[in-house]
Amino acid sequence: MIRKKVKLAYITNDSSRKANYKKRKKGLMRKMSELSTLCGIGACAIMYSPYESRPEVWPSRTGFQQVLSKFKMIPEMEERKNLVNQESFLSQRTVKVVEQLRKD
């Protein structure tokens, strides 16, 4: 059972790649959950893969919304400061995204 060093490159073998994806996705989800708990922060992630019929979303739909709703606060502050750099712009777009989600 010799584990190769991770080579940071696309896994060409189909089944290996899929298996790898499933394992790492699980690990990633767990880590997000941990970070969220340990530091009391909001976070969310979306992953798309050809191996699954649906995008993978963390956290649950409810949590997803709760997290996103918090983002509203930040962009509003940025806006008041009248920042126009790319990053604040992205933040502002995120607000719009939040609004859309909250309409459900």
Partner DNA sequence: CCAGCTATACTTAGCTA
Partner DNA sequence: GTAGCTAAGTATAGCTG
List interacting residues with DNA (CB under 7 A): 1-6, 14-16, 18-20, 22-24, 26-28, 30-31, 34
Reduced to 3 states (helix: H, G, I; strand: E, B; else coil), residue 73 is helix
Q: Are 83 and 46 in contact (CB under 8 A)?
A: no
Q: Which does 55 bind (CB under 5 to 8 A by kind): DNA, its own copies, none?
A: its own copies
d(CA 63, CA 86) in angstroms, rounded, equals: 27
Structure tokens at 80: 């008041």
20-59: which residues touch its own copies (CB under 8 A)? Answer: 20-21, 24-25, 27-28, 31-32, 34-35, 37-50, 53-55, 57
User: Token pair for residue 103?
Assistant: 């309409």
CB of 39 to DNA, least distance (A): 10
What's the residue count for the chain?
A: 104
Are the C-beta atoms of 59 and 67 separated by less than 8 Å? yes
Q: Which residues lie near its own copies (CB under 8 A)?
A: 6, 8-11, 17-18, 20-21, 24-25, 27-28, 31-32, 34-35, 37-50, 53-55, 57, 61, 64, 67-68, 70-71, 74, 77-78, 86-91, 93-94, 96-97, 100-101, 104
